[in-house]
Amino acid sequence: MKRTFLFFLLIPVIFISCEQTFVPGDPLPSWNDGDTKQSIINYVEKVSDKNSDSYIEPVDRIATFDNDGTLWTEQPTYFQFYFVVDRLRKLAEMNPDIANDTLVRALLDQGHEAIFTFSGEGITRVIVMASTGMNTDEYADIVEEWISTTKHPETGMYFTDMIYQPMLELLQYLRDNEFKTFIVSGGGIEFMRPWTMETYGIPTHQVIGSTMAIEWEMTDDGPVLNRMPEMSFFNDKTNKPIAINRCIGKKPVFAAGNSDGDLAMLQWSYSNALPSFQLYVHHTDAEREWAYDRDSHIGRLDKGLDVAAENGWTVVDMKSDWKVIWPEE
**CB nearer a copy of itself, residue 83 or residue 292:** 83
Q: Find the shortest distance in angstroms from Cβ 42 to a copy of itself.
A: 24
Q: Find the shortest distance in angstroms from Cβ 111 to a copy of itself.
A: 32
Q: Find the shortest distance in angstroms from Cβ 187 to a copy of itself.
A: 13
Q: What is the largest CA-CA distance in the chain?
A: 84
Q: Find the shortest distance in angstroms from Cβ 218 to a copy of itself.
A: 8
For the chain, how many residues are written? 329
Q: Find the shortest distance in angstroms from Cβ 287 to a copy of itself.
A: 37
327 CB-near residues (< 8 Å, 6+ apart): 161, 163, 165, 168
**Pairwise CA distance, residues 134 & 202, whole Å:** 25
SS3 at position 100: coil
**CB nearer a copy of itself, residue 19 or residue 121:** 19
What single letter denotes the amino acid at residue 227?
R
**CB nearer a copy of itself, residue 159 or residue 182:** 182
List residues bridging with 255 in a β-sheet.
64, 278
Q: Find the shortest distance in angstroms from Cβ 249 to a copy of itself.
A: 3
**CB nearer a copy of itself, residue 33 or residue 215:** 215
List residues bridging with 180 in a β-sheet.
62
Q: Find the shortest distance in angstroms from Cβ 265 to a copy of itself.
A: 10
**CB nearer a copy of itself, residue 94 or residue 218:** 218
**CB nearer a copy of itself, residue 17 or residue 52:** 17
Cβ pair 313, 279 in contact under 8 A: yes
List residues bridging with 63 in a β-sheet.
181, 254
Residue 50: which of 21, 28, 24 has the closest Cα?
Answer: 21
Where along the sequence are the contacts to a copy of itself (CB under 8 A)?
2-3, 6-7, 9-10, 13-14, 17-19, 59, 62, 136, 180, 182, 189-190, 193, 197, 203-207, 211, 214-216, 218, 222-223, 225, 238-239, 241-242, 245-250, 264, 267-268, 270-271
**CB nearer a copy of itself, residue 109 or residue 220:** 220
Put residue 222 in one of left, alpha, beta given phi > 0 → left and psi -120 to 50 → alpha: left
**Pairwise CA distance, residues 190 & 121, whole Å:** 21
